């Protein structure tokens, strides 16, 4: 590895973000099941912008003030007071084109706000749905990268780690890393060998198990498909927009 190349770090849980200096890095927020997949779908289908917020209350407040679409789930159900959930299938072009979506999620939004507070140089969101847009952007920028997994209540999960590994696998020749989490993620991705759904199933991944219990197999399959909503999602002034 050449020592003049920019660095890649992988942060497997939001609770670990503080142990990395992210101020000179692009931070990729990863919440594969399902926040960053739904964000990609909405932007790909023409949403004007997405405002990520931490709480249902703030979601309702912003939604009522501006008349935008209010969405978010808690425990797998549309949260009380909101109109729509966190499934990518909701955000068709007919539904979302030119609209503003205010979205509350737990793990992903909190991580994004942590990255902002830690003064990330820039923030994008990533999922398998827009992996090529993410990888191409990272290659073009040629800056240090933090692949930041949203995990589940700070517990490391398979799908976000797999996505980090997939990105590393695509871009590693143009970066250097001295980060075991980065190596672990890439090994895991290679082990899945292109069969992400089956790998999650065989390993009884906790989120696979949880979402199957809600009858959401189609959501899982969508969120594990490469480039089905291939648009860059970049954070600017409180909003995620198509880059």
Which of these ranges, 98-106, 114-122, 147-155, 229-237, lies near its own copies under the rule CB under 8 A?
147-155
The yes or no reply on residue 187 touching its own copies (CB under 8 A) is yes
The yes or no reply on residue 183 touching its own copies (CB under 8 A) is yes
Q: Which of 119, 153, 221, 236 binds its own copies (CB under 8 A)?
A: 153
SS (H, E, C) 83-118: CECCCHHHCCHHHHCCCEEEEECCHHHHHHHHHHHC
The yes or no reply on residue 19 touching its own copies (CB under 8 A) is yes
Which of these ranges, 60-68, 83-91, 93-101, 151-159, lies near its own copies under the rule CB under 8 A?
151-159
CB of 64 to its own copies, least distance (A): 34
Which of these ranges, 89-97, 107-115, 157-165, 217-225, lies near its own copies under the rule CB under 8 A?
157-165
Of 20, 50, 55, which is closest to residue 240 (Cα–Cα)? 50
The yes or no reply on residue 118 touching its own copies (CB under 8 A) is no
Per-residue binding letters, 194-233, with its own copies (x by CB under 8 A): ---------xxxxx-x------------------------
- Please identify, using beta-carbon distances, which residue of 153 and 221 lies nearer to its own copies: 153
SS (H, E, C) 159-225: HHHHHHHHHHHHHHHHCECCCHHHHHHHHHHHHHCCCHHHHHHHCCCHHHHHHHHCCCHHHHHHHCC
> Residue 138 belongs to what H/E stretch?
helix 131-141
> Residue 122 belongs to what H/E stretch?
strand 122-126
The yes or no reply on residue 180 touching its own copies (CB under 8 A) is yes
The yes or no reply on residue 188 touching its own copies (CB under 8 A) is yes
CB of 195 to its own copies, least distance (A): 14
CA gap 92, 29 in Å, rounded:
23
- Please identify, using beta-carbon distances, which residue of 180 and 237 lies nearer to its own copies: 180
The yes or no reply on residue 184 touching its own copies (CB under 8 A) is yes
- CA-to-CA separations, 98 to 101, 102, 131, 199, in angstroms, rounded: 10, 13, 23, 37
How big, in percent rounded to 5, are the helix, strand and coil portions of the chain?
45, 20, 35
> Residue 76 belongs to what H/E stretch?
none
Q: Which of 36, 37, 130, 181 binds its own copies (CB under 8 A)?
A: 181
SS3 at position 4 = coil
CA gap 134, 131 in Å, rounded:
5
Q: Which of 156, 171, 226, 241 binds its own copies (CB under 8 A)?
A: 156
Q: Kindly list the residues in this chain that would bind its own copies in the complex (CB under 8 A).
A: 1, 12-13, 15-16, 19-20, 152-158, 161, 178-181, 183-184, 187-188, 191, 203-207, 209
């Amino acid at each position: 590895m050449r020592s003049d190349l920019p660095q890649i770090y992988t942060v497997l849980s939001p609770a670990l973000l503080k142990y990395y200096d992210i101020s000179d890095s692009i931070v990729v927020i990863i919440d594969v099941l399902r926040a960053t997949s739904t964000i990609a779908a909405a932007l790909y289908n023409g949403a004007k912008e997405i405002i990520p917020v931490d709480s249902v209350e703030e979601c309702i407040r912003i939604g009522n003030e501006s008349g935008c679409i209010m969405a978010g789930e808690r425990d797998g159900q549309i949260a009380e007071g909101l109109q729509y959930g966190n499934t990518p299938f909701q955000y068709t072009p007919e539904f979302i084109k030119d609209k503003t979506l205010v979205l509350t999620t737990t793990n992903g939004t909190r991580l994004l706000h942590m990255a902002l507070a830690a003064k990330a140089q820039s923030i994008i969101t990533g999922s398998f749905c827009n992996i090529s847009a993410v990888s191409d952007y990272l290659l073009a920028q040629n800056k240090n990268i933090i692949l930041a997994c949203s995990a589940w209540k700070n517990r490391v999960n398979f799908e976000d780690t797999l996505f980090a590994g997939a990105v590393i696998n695509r871009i590693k020749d143009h970066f250097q890393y001295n980060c075991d989490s980065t190596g672990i993620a890439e090994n895991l991705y290679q082990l899945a060998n292109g069969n992400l759904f089956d790998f999650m199933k065989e390993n009884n991944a906790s989120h696979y198990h949880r979402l199957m219990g809600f009858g959401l197999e189609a959501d899982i399959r969508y969120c594990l498909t490469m480039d089905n909503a291939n648009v860059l999602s970049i954070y600017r002034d409180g909003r995620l927009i198509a880059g």
